[in-house]
Structure 1
Amino acid sequence: MSFSPQSRVWIYQSDRKFTSTEETEILNKLAAFTNQWTAHGNELLAKAEIRYGFFIVLTVDESQAGVTGCSIDSSVRLIKEIEQEYHVDLFNRFNIAYKVNGEVVVNSKEDFETLVNIKQVTPETIVFNNMVQNLAELETKWEVPFKNSWHSTVFAHLL
């Protein structure tokens, strides 16, 4: 199934890594959801994946049918159910994900700020920009060096 580069994406970042069992169960739930996801009765061309064990990525190709408020609400409900069932936080935008030696780490904004302060996070550290809007941005602007991300403007006073 090929998705247009303009397909919309939503990224939900967990505050901890899913276990392999959890990942399998969650992927099954997501697949069941995306297979029947509709907008005003029109089937949406959608897929869901988990990247790095931390990120749930929902993708919808709107070239066939556009996403509506109701269809977005139904996806948010599903994510909230996953959050409760697996005791994870998927909506905290103040948790910041970055890479250390190729491994994803998630920290609170305060802890991340400390790491920037003591130069454990450098301008070259790869951070995740979960505000990307579409598939093209996901591929090119999701994993970026700290110095090229919105994070660097938030923490500019520390650099």
Structure 2
Amino acid sequence: MIFSPQSKVWIYQSNRKFNDQEATEIRDILDRFVEQWTAHGAQLKAKAEIFHHYFIVLIVDQDVANATGCSIDSSVRIIKEIESKFSLDLFDRFNMAYKIDNEVHVATKEDFETLISAKKIGLETVVFNNLVQTLEDFEQKWEVQLQDSWHKNIFAEQLNG
């Protein structure tokens, strides 16, 4: 399936890595969900993906049908069900995801600050911008160096200290 670059994207980041069995089960739940995901009775052109065993990404091609309040609410419900079933936290925006040696890690905001202060994380460290909203931005601006991300402003004191 080809999706418009302007397709809407929602990213849910886990506080911990999914094991292989969890990833398979989560993918099955998401596949069943997107097959029946509708907005005002219209089938949404949608897909769900898991990236790096940490991220659930929902994509809706709004050129076909727009996601509405009710359809977005239903997607949040399924994410909350996954969160509950697997004892995950998928809504904490203060967990920071980053890559070191091509491996993804997640840290609390405080631990992330400590890693910056200890020079374990720097301006070249790849971070994940979960605020991207379109497929095009997801593909081009989701994984970026800290120096090119909103993270730089939040952690400026630690980076300059």
Quickly name the TM-score band, shorter chain normalised. Answer: over 0.9
Q: How many residues align?
A: 159
| Equivalent in the alignment of 1:58 | 58
Aligned AA (1:78): I
1:100, distance to aligned residue in structure 2 (A): 1.0
TM-score for the superposition, normalised by structure 1: 0.99
CA distance in 1, matches of 2:117, 2:148: 18
1:151, distance to aligned residue in structure 2 (A): 0.4
CA distance in 1, matches of 2:134, 2:55: 15
| Equivalent in the alignment of 1:92 | 92
- What's the CA shift string for 1:91-143, capped at 9, x where partnerless? 00000000011000000000000111111101000000000001000011000
1:158, distance to aligned residue in structure 2 (A): 1.5
- What's the CA shift string for 1:28-82, capped at 9, x where partnerless? 1000000100000000000001000000000000001111000000000000000
Gaps (5+ residues) in structure 1? none
CA distance in 2, matches of 1:16, 1:128: 15
| Equivalent in the alignment of 1:147 | 147
Residues 1:73 and 2:73 are matched in the alignment: yes
Aligned AA (1:7): S
TM-score for the superposition, normalised by structure 2: 0.98
CA distance in 1, matches of 2:120, 2:156: 15
Aligned AA (1:9): V
Residues 1:21 and 2:21 are matched in the alignment: yes
Detail structure 1 runs of 4+ shifted over 2 Å in the superposition: none
CA distance in 1, matches of 2:23, 2:118: 34
Aligned AA (1:88): L
SS of equivalent to 2:77: helix
Gaps (5+ residues) in structure 2? none
